[in-house]
Amino acid sequence: VGPPGTGKTLLARAVAGEAGVPFFSISGSEFVEMFVGVGAGRVRSLFEQAKKSTPCIVFIDEIDAMGHSRGAGIGQSYDEGGQTLNQLFTEMDGFDVNQGIIVLAATNRPDVLDVALMRPGRFDRHVEVGLPDVRGREQILRIHTRNKPLADNVSLSEIARGTASFSGAQLEQLANEAAMLAAREGKSLVDIDHFRRAQSRILMGEERHIIVSDADRKLTAYHEAGHAIVGAFVAATSGGDAVHQVTIIPRRSAMGVTGFLPKEDKYTYAKAYCMGKIKTLLGGRVAEELTAGIEMVTTGAGLDLKTMTNLVRRMVCDWGMSDKLPLRTYGEHSEQVFLGRDLGRERDYGEDMAKKIDDEIDRIIAECLDEVRLILTGSRDKLELLANALLERETLSGDEVRAIVGGEAESEAQAVLPILPTETKAGKKDWVLRWLKYGWRNLSDLIKWAKGKPWKHWHSFFSRQSVSSRSFSTYRFDFFGISKRVSESESGSRSRRKRKAGLLATK
């Protein structure tokens, strides 16, 4: 059991090779026919051959093609599938204890398998074949590059660290693509640049050679620059994925692509990581608004908005990442597996709760949208620099992006939003130095915002209280720029305490 490309079939063949016994391999789709009885007949034929060659191993690849839940189909197609599956049960239950036939199967969809197939006595031992970790990726790369001449600047350990979430099949493709790029250029050695370009092709797709107008090309550059700047800020503040590459060369159905790679293998995702993902997805749309105006935004953010909405809904409904709703899951997954993972979701709540869920989704998106606007407004000069660099060079690596938006990763966030000093002397000194370098860039934008505001906004601004306007209600300000975020409840309780102490004017 495991995702595609992790080596489930290869592992079964390796088991047979190590055991030194005959190996019978067949795909689950070969049992599925339009004529009733053909699939069951093939199952009988397979096991008759296996009994003549004992001891042996029978391997059924993609068993979900024939072993899906009975009751997920209707009519003749179900009759054929049900008969094939029942015949498999009969053959497996008819083995003697010491007959010497081992049955293995592989699938990447265990959720659709019939429960009778998974019961004890049949496929009761489940081996998880997951994505390789960094050591596994390096070993896989060594296997697939042993017959390829590599340049001295190629470090397989570095490539392995930069290919988190790659499967074994993708690593094989990476090595082959890099070798083909070197061959097309007439190079005798495969260097690191070939691997980087091959990785971009796998992650982002093939380049499309189409004619793009100057206006569309410019807006695409700002869109991708918005993704990259917000992504760099998120990576520095909440452990988000690092920017891998930014390009305005059309690939697949996109006019441009900003690729991200995780810094390390991830098995669970924190709420801060998910919120950072939402902000990064919104970065392109907000950059379009800032540069072209709300009336000139394009359809380029369509996929970003769809991905973002699905992520927020899962945070609220599946992962309990909302502090406004009771801690539980919302919506049950239907057992009608033929509908698919998304269509099979059923509501287990009423209309009032549905409205609360929608309101919470809207609140999270609005909160992230406000912060993204602050980030890009406070780093408008970097947005211009990065967009112009993309217009000139079309493709930038992650290191080139980081050099433009602030150099060292630690200063990426500091260049956008200066934070309050810590209580220690060293922390206060560090904050002063950072403000002298970065903080003045935000001052003009803050003055524009505060211009014409009532006195209570200015009073709040100077006294480091939470500004009461909707867009800025969750930020604490000081004279030098935006400081760290505080919750509305925290801000309100502090204001009440100060009022009681006579430090704030009251009506």
Catalytic residues: 224
In order of 41, 225, 231, 437, 445, the CA distances from 394 in angstroms are 58, 11, 19, 30, 30
All residues at 6 or more sequence positions from 98 whose CB lies less than 8 Å from its CB, including other chains? none
**What whole-number distance in Å separates Cα of residue 293 and Cα of residue 212?**
21
Q: State the amino acid at position 461 in one-letter form.
A: F
Burial of 299 (C-beta count, 10 Å sphere; 0-12/13-18/19+):
exposed
Q: Is the dihedral of CA 214, 217, 221, 226 positive or negative?
A: positive
First to last CA, the chain: 66
Query: What is the 3-class SS of 120-155, one letter each residue?
Result: CCCCCCCCCCCCCCHHHHHHHHHHHCCCCCECCCCC
Which helix (H) or strand (E) is 61 found in, with range? Answer: strand 56-61
Find how far residue 48's CA is from the centre of its chain: 46
β 475-478/481-485 pair status: antiparallel
* Per-residue CA distances from 136 to 164, 263, 265 (Å): 11, 16, 12
Give the 3-state secondary structure of residue 478: strand
Q: How far apart are CA 430 and CA 425, in angstroms?
A: 9
Q: What are phi and psi of 70, to 5 degrees?
A: -70, 130
DSSP letter at 45 equals H
Q: In angstroms, what is the C-alpha Rg of the chain?
A: 29
